[in-house]
Amino acid sequence: MDRRTACLHQANAFREKALADPEHQDEWIDEAIKWLERAMEASCRAVVTMEGDEGSETPAPAIETTAPHRRVIVRQ
């Protein structure tokens, strides 16, 4: 199981706790939101490949980075 899927499972578990425990619903929803944010971070990975100059013997670098934008999850 990849990190994104594991985070989504955790978020769903906390969402179910929120439904089952109305007294602490806000706390469980906050935890679910944290896990959803982690899942989004895990899925925002990108690989960028750059080509080198013609005639250059240096290989083109492959750079792995996270996307610069973040999505926001808010409670309704």
The pLDDT score that the predictor gives to residue 43 is 82
The pLDDT score that the predictor gives to residue 2 is 87
Q: How far apart are CA 7 and CA 40, in angstroms?
A: 9
**Contact assessment for residue 7 and residue 39, using Cβ atoms and an 8 Å cutoff:** yes
Evaluate if pTM is beyond 0.85. no
Domain boundaries along the sequence of the chain: 3-66
pLDDT tens, N- to C-terminus, the chain (76 residues)? 789 999 999 999 999 999 999 999 999 999 999 999 999 988 876 555 556 556 656 555 544 445 545 555 555 5
The pLDDT score that the predictor gives to residue 71 is 56
The pLDDT score that the predictor gives to residue 1 is 78
Q: How far apart are CA 38 and CA 29, in angstroms?
A: 14
